[in-house]
Amino acid sequence: MTRFILVILALFSWPTMANIITTPAKPVIGINASEIAKRVCYYQDQAYSDGAILQVGEHYMVCKEANDFETNGALKWVHLDTGSAPKQQESEQVPKAGKRYSVN
Per-residue pLDDT band for 85 (boundaries 50, 70, 90) equals: very low
CB count within 10 Å of CB 63 equals 21
- Is the pLDDT at 13 greater than 70? The verdict is no
Residue 88: the pLDDT is 45
Of 32, 68, 76, 69, which Cα lies nearest the Cα of 50?
A: 76
Tell me the pLDDT tens digit for each residue of 47-70: 898 889 999 888 899 999 988 888
